[in-house]
Amino acid sequence: MSLLEKIKNHKAHIGVVGLGYVGLPLILEFLEEKFPATGFDIDSSKVEMLNRGESYIKHIPTQKIKKVKEMGLFHATSDFSRLKEVDCVLVCVPTPLNKYREPDISFIVNTAETISQHLQKEQLIVLESSTYPGTTEEVMRPILEKSGYKCHEDFYLAFSPEREDPNNPKFTTRTIPKVVGANDPVTLELTKTLYDQIIVKTVPVSSSQAAEATKLLENIFRSVNIALVNEMKIILDRMGIDVWEVIDAASTKPFGFMPFYPGPGLGGHCIPIDPFYLTWKAREFDISTRFIELAGEVNTDMPYHVVQRLSEALNQYRKSINGSRVLILGMSYKKDIDDLRESPSLKLMDILHEKGATVDYNDPYIPELWHTRKFQFSNKSVELTAQNIKAYDAVLISTDHTEYDWDFIVENANIIVDTRNATVNVKNHRKKIFKA
């Protein structure tokens, strides 16, 4: 049976490398369609939890993991030699920036090296990790061809960017259209057919480079517009104008305007990172991406702006940041999830520590901080009692989780610095609230 027939008949064995916020939802969709599937991850704790039928991601319930385990079609492993058993390998590994804000594609390179050692004829390899145009063909392909097999003849290689928005009730892995690109028509047909089995709509493009660029454009668009509204916020704040009121009013225009909202900085794995992947690649072609880089600078500076606003708020009470006790509300990068990736809350905590503040946090979804590539915090979430809140000189709202009781928090806080307009509907104690 050909690979195309296996895919159409749901007999193709799916392998997903990287079982995080992208890889785990993806493999679950294939399992929903009764594909046999193996998940690969270097984190043995994740592997053990999945094989016990447990979830480690808040918005993916344990019951869903138990269900697919009971089907008998799924197994997780850290044994990458089992890659030879699968027909399709979907790569969902991190692509962070290094300390110089340059692409770190070491996870892609290492994964490609591992796949190359176990590559089989007729296997389809699809990279899903966000990266610069050319990575699939210029980086992955030569490594995979070390196996002795020739790309697009003996095996197939494509790119299909992930479009996950964790815990978004309106859009799921299945309902978000999927872009697919490959530099060979047979490979493109295989890749499109594969995702057609689980996604409502696939969008084929002419090459892996075009698919890679599509992902970058999506997130650069958001980065630039968020930078614009962040800059507007700083300007309007100086003028004594509420930027949130202005955005709401502008949003009534039925054409030509799309609302974006300011915040304490960018978070998540895509928007803070993807623009720098393109600016780095553009230098190879002697192009200066001034507009994109300026947006990056504005967004990167936002945590410093928030700390400045906190300092101004404390000054009104004859206090300085140095020696103050500050409680940050929300450590995840957006509301109602447990994802710390690139969270501006971590940067805020770091800056405040450097300025001499004692900093704690509360987050209902993150009971304890873990070490990240940039930050080595080990704090535990503080309980939100009236007594605890009153003990802090200032409460800094960084992530506006739905379950927070803003009236209760404002009532008991000495100072509130609100970066998310979370307290807009609080009627009492408005003098305590400072927008940032």
Please state the rounded mean pLDDT for residues 52-63.
93
What pLDDT sits at residue 373? 82
The pLDDT of residue 99 is: 83
Residue 422 Cα distances to 108, 411, 418, angstroms:
39, 14, 7
Per-residue pLDDT, 307: 97
Nearest Cα to 178, choosing from 25, 55, 281?
A: 25
Give tens-digit pLDDT for 10-37.
Answer: 999 999 999 999 999 999 999 999 999 9
Helix/strand/coil for 204: strand
Please indicate whether residue 270 is annotated as part of the active site: yes
DSSP per-residue codes, 323-347: T-EEEEE--SSSTT----TT-HHHH
Q: What is the pLDDT of residue 168?
A: 84
Q: Which of these ranges, 322-336, 368-382, 403-417, has the smallest mean pLDDT?
A: 368-382
pLDDT average, residue stretch 25-53: 96
Q: Tell me: domain 264-435, CATH 3.40.33.10, correct?
A: no
Tell me the pLDDT of the chain averaged across its residues.
95
Q: How confident is the model at residue 62 (pLDDT cuts 50, 70, 90)?
A: very high
pLDDT at residue 372, as a whole number: 87
Question: Are 3-206 and 264-435 equal in CATH topology?
Answer: yes
Looking at the chain, the whole-number percentage of residues with pLDDT higher than 70 is 100
The predicted structure's pLDDT at residue 379: 94
Encoded tokens for 7 = 């895919």
Model confidence over 152-169: pLDDT tens digits? 999 999 999 999 888 888
Query: Using alpha carbons only, what angle is made at residue 166 by residues 190 and 401, rounded to the nearest 5 degrees?
Result: 175
CATH number for the domain formed by residue range(s) 3-206:
3.40.50.720
**Amino acid 347: pLDDT:** 96
- What tens digit of pLDDT does each residue of 329-359 get? 999 999 999 999 999 999 999 999 999 999 9
pLDDT at 303: 97
pTM reported for the whole predicted model: 0.92
Task: Choose, from 88, 92, 151, 270, the residue flagged as catalytic.
Answer: 270
Q: What is the mean pLDDT of residues 306-317?
A: 96
Overall average pLDDT of the 397-409 stretch? 97
Q: What is the pLDDT of residue 36?
A: 97
Domain ranges of the chain: 3-206, 264-435
The set of residues, in sequence order, having a beta carbon less than 8 Å from that of 166 and lying 6+ positions away, is 21, 57, 59, 334, 337, 339
Angle CA 156–36–54, to nearest 5: 120
- Of the listed ranges 81-95, 119-133, 219-233, 365-379, the least confidently predicted one is 365-379
Strand partners, 178: 202
Residue 371 has pLDDT above 90, yes or no: no
Q: Side-chain half-sphere of 420: how many Cα atoms within 13 Å?
A: 22
Assign 3-state DSSP to the chain and report helix, strand, coil percentages, each to 5: 40, 15, 45
Tens digit of pLDDT for each residue in 232-272? Answer: 999 999 999 999 999 999 999 999 999 999 999 988 878 88
